[in-house]
Structure formats: C-alpha cells, structure tokens
C-alpha cells in the first residue's frame, strides 16, 4: 500500500523534540495496493490537526483527526459517492467543512467527530470543482474553483448559508480559455479576495487576483505575468502569495 506521509517542521522557537514524521494507511484492508493521497491539512482548535485525504482510483474521501503528537485520534471514510477532495476547514462549531468535485462541485459539513451534518452538490450545467472553502463571518461558507468543460473553464465562486444552501454564485473569466480560482478568503470589509490562474494569449497563464464586495460583485481584478512560468503558493488560507516575475 502507498501511504500518506506527513511531516511537521518546527518553528525556530520550538524545541527539536516536537518535530515528527508519520505515515498513515487507510483501513479497511480492501484498499491495499492503491495510492493514499493527502490533499489538505489544518491545525484544529485543540492543538491537533485535521487531514483531508483520499484513497483509490476514484479518490474516496478519507478524513483523519490527528493529535498534536501525530497519533490518529479518529478516522472516517464513509462519505458515499463524493470523490476528488481538495480542501478542509474547521468550522466555528468545532466540526469540519470540506470540498471537492468531479462532475459537480460539492461541500460536506460534519460534526467534530467527522459524522455528516449535511452534504450538497452544486451544478452549473458543466463540470464543476471546488478547490478552496472558508467559513464566513455570517456563519455560512464560501467556496471557489472552476466550471466548464475540457480546456475551457471559468472561475466559479459560490456563497452558501450555514446549511449549505446557495445564496449566490458568480463566474469570472473569458469563457474561451482555462480560467480557474484556487483559494479564497473573506476580507475585513466583508468582501472576498480570490486568487487563481487566468489564460493569456501572449504569456500563456498569469497569476490572477480578484477582489469582490460581499455579494461577489467585482471591485477589481489584476493579473501578473512574466516571461517565465508564473507560480504562486497558497499557505493554509492564502496568507501570503509569492509571485516570481521580473515585471511584478
């Protein structure tokens, strides 16, 4: 079996003995000899971690609650036909919300032990996938990703209430290229900041930033490019973005 490998690195002020490395095998055993993949990890309010992972060719969801020393506290993998997970977030009630998508984008909300509270799919009449989810100040959720088919996609953002019911959806992009958003956060003014990639006929693909109001309506958009491949890193909720390019 291929295992998920998790390495926790110390901050400079943390003693070396608090570093550890763990690998995890999914159970039961009929998933042997298929890859286990870690997709997203977040620190939890009790000082441990929640790991969103998957196993098998269909990427069946596997949630692992990990203690601060790396030992498994509990694990769940009974999430039915929801495949291809991408991101997880602890909610204010101590539970978890996580997202993904295959043909349709989806959100799943659980209690603090990983038991499903609700699950919803979101169909924009194409192939949808969420890459990032955050809880919002009103207790609901916002998720971003892409919608479209093949090499033609638009950025896709959805705002839900606390029960996962849709309040509004927005799409961004040209509808002629591969445009996608990878991370979203709610800003201090109640609006949203979103990052991703937008196709550019001249420079291929550019880093893409979108700022919206609280209803998802665009305030401004920016793209950043260079003659080299443009990359960015999303560090647990888009705290910082590093863009490599001489013209930025």
Q: In angstroms, how far apart are the furthest CA atoms of the chain? A: 52
Coil, strand or helix: which one is 120? Answer: strand
Rounded distance between C-alpha atoms, residue 53 and residue 63, angstroms: 6
Range name among 7-11, 136-140, 182-186, 223-227 with the lowest pLDDT average = 7-11
CA distance 58 to 190: 37
Of 3-12, 102-111, 117-126, 219-228, the range with the lowest mean pLDDT is 3-12
pLDDT of residue 67: 96
* 121 or 12, which is more confident: 121
Distance of CA 234 to the CA centre of its chain: 10
Overall average pLDDT of the 208-216 stretch: 96
Mean pLDDT comparison of 12-21, 30-39, 169-178, 182-191, highest-scoring range: 182-191
Q: What's residue 172's pLDDT?
A: 94
Q: Is 30 helix (H, G, I), strand (E, B) or coil?
A: helix
Sequence-separated (6 or more) residues with CB below 8 Å from residue 132: 86, 87, 99, 143, 144, 145, 181, 182, 183, 184, 234, 238
């Amino acid at each position: 079996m291929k295992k998920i490998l998790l390495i926790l690195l110390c901050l400079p002020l943390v003693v070396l003995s608090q570093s550890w490395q763990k690998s995890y095998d999914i159970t039961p055993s009929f998933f042997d000899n298929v890859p286990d993949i870690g997709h997203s990890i977040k620190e939890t309010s009790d000082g441990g971690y929640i790991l969103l992972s998957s196993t098998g060719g269909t990427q069946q969801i596997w949630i692992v609650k990990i203690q601060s020393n790396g030992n498994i506290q509990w694990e769940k993998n009974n999430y039915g036909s929801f495949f291809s997970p991408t991101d997880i977030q602890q909610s204010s009630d101590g539970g978890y919300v996580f997202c993904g998508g295959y043909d349709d984008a989806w959100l799943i909300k659980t209690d603090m032990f990983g038991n499903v509270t609700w699950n919803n799919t979101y169909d924009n009449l194409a192939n949808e996938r969420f890459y990032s989810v955050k809880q919002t100040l009103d207790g609901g959720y916002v998720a971003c990703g892409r919608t479209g088919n093949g090499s033609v996609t638009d950025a896709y953002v959805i705002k839900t209430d606390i029960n996962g019911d849709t309040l509004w959806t927005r799409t961004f992009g040209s509808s002629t290229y591969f445009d996608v958003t990878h991370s979203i956060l709610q800003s201090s003014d109640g609006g949203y900041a979103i990052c991703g990639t937008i196709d550019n006929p001249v420079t291929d693909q550019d880093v893409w930033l979108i700022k919206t109001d609280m209803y998802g309506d665009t305030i401004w958009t920016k793209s950043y490019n260079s003659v080299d491949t443009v990359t960015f890193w999303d560090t647990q909720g888009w705290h910082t973005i590093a863009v490599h390019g001489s013209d930025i």
